[in-house]
Amino acid sequence: MDHFLYRNGELHAEEVRVADIVAAVGTPLYIYSTATLTRHYRVFDEALSGMPHLIAYAVKANGNLAVLKTLGDLGAGMDVVSEGEFRRALAAGVPGGRVVFSGVGKTADEIAFALAHNVRQLNVESFEELELVSRVAVANNAVAPVALRVNPDVDAKTHAKIATGKSENKFGIPISRAREAYARAKSLPGIEAMGVDVHIGSQLTDLAPFESAFRKVAELTRLLREDGHDIRRIDLGGGLGIPYRQANEAPPLPFDYGALVKRTVGDLGCEIEIEPGRLIAGNAGILVSEVIYRKQGEGREFLVLDAAMNDLIRPAMYDAWHDIVPLKEPAPGVEKAEVDVVGPICETGDTFARARPLPPLGPGDLVAFRSAGAYGAVMSSEYNGRRLVPEVLVNGDQFAVVRARPSFEEMLARDTIPAWTA
Ligand SMILES: *Cc1c(COP(=O)(O)O)cnc(C)c1O
């Protein structure tokens, strides 16, 4: 459930009429719901109740400072994958002690930054990274708290671009070499390996791959303890999927995920960390756009919007489906016609939906892409000279612009022309 519902025939974000936000900010724009973000955080928190745990929200799903502050104030930790994301977490008031640093390619500077800010944990993904983390820690008179990310060779059964837990993926240390890696970690002066980490992919719609990965982690944890390692934390990553098609998708619920966590790793006495991104932010956001043209093609009709793939790349990149709804609630029983919903960018890939049954819509009408709160604005760009899409956060009957649409002047001012040109 989210908080984008029709009231009196018009789409609302919580108690605010979406059309009122459009009147103030223009289109395209993203709108996020505080109530939905809060609810999703709490659902996870309850699902893991009874076990010591930290919900480290994956900043990469939606890193707007207002979103991070909202979640951080509830007690969330943050899972970051770069110094830039780390700085976002800090700027939102989340201390380094609640920040987990993930990622396959941390640089020496990023590791030093994390240690200087008392990072809770570095999730280390290779033997090579272990050596670098130890060197940087020693140079800074620190000992790095480390979890090793193991690759359990589990098929997450999700889109190939977001599956990360198979042996052919670039992520983690093969689980078959994990004991060797922990032995190496123990011999290094700058490392304290106290955790095991796993993340097998994103948008998982079935619990079975999680179950096999978590069982492998539990078994490994027992072996590592026999080897004399003091494993105190287990980080199970993110990845729980959301329903992008309200009509016919029912991915597992956080409650069932929590029960699975308890069943598989709950008896180890470890602190549990999870890193959900999409499930917290995905259904907490919409992208609102205006129809520019209804264009007649050969045997098909195109709805040309003022939003494009640079604003929401998921359909082009992951073949993703987003429900598209008009801001004005269609009359019951209104006839739908199939249209291709496209943006203005000069690429055929700039297509949001093909042959999508939609009620009659024409120039000036407003539509919303649902489930656009995760991997939406964070992946936006200025491709085709388009201004970065603005973001708005709603809270009850209030809304605030939390990232303004830049002016064309600001956009141009970032480039400089070298002196040698005439
Ligand atoms: C992307 C990512 C996440 C978040 O995944 P979601 O599917 O958004 O929950 C968590 N941990 C790591 C290491 C990631 O790369």
Q: Provide the residue-wise pLDDT of the chain in tens; the chain has 422 residues.
A: 689 999 999 999 999 999 999 999 999 999 999 999 999 999 999 999 999 999 999 999 999 999 999 999 999 999 999 999 999 999 999 999 999 999 999 999 999 999 999 999 999 999 999 999 999 999 999 999 999 999 999 998 888 888 888 888 899 999 999 999 999 999 999 999 999 999 999 999 999 999 999 999 999 999 999 999 999 999 999 999 999 998 788 899 999 999 999 999 999 999 999 999 999 999 999 999 999 999 999 999 999 999 999 999 999 999 999 999 999 999 999 999 999 999 999 999 999 999 999 999 999 999 999 999 999 999 999 999 999 999 999 999 999 999 999 999 999 999 999 999 98
| Residue from 54, 60, 204, 273 to probe ligand 1 pocket by mutation (most atoms less than 8 Å from CB) | 60
Quote the pLDDT of residue 1: 62
Q: Is 346 a catalytic site residue?
A: yes
Distance from the alpha carbon of residue 73 to the mean position of ligand 1, in angstroms = 21
* CA-based torsion, 154, 158, 162, 168: positive or negative: positive
Q: Indicate which residue's Cα is closest to atom 3 of ligand 1.
A: 238
* Domains contained in the chain, CATH given: 4-31+282-413 (2.40.37.10), 34-280 (3.20.20.10)
| Burial grade of 399 (CB within 10 A; 0-12, 13-18, 19 or more) | buried
φ/ψ (deg, to 5) at 178: -65, -45
Quote the pLDDT of residue 246: 82
Distance from the alpha carbon of residue 246 to the mean position of ligand 1, in angstroms = 22
Q: Indicate which residue's Cα is closest to atom 10 of ligand 1.
A: 238
Question: Active site residue: 247, 346, 419, 422, which one?
Answer: 346
Evaluate: CB of 85 within 6 angstroms of ligand 1. no
Evaluate: CB of 278 within 6 angstroms of ligand 1. yes
Quote the pLDDT of residue 167: 84
Evaluate: CB of 79 within 6 angstroms of ligand 1. yes
Alpha carbons 197 and 182: distance in angstroms, whole number: 12
Q: What is the pTM of this model?
A: 0.97
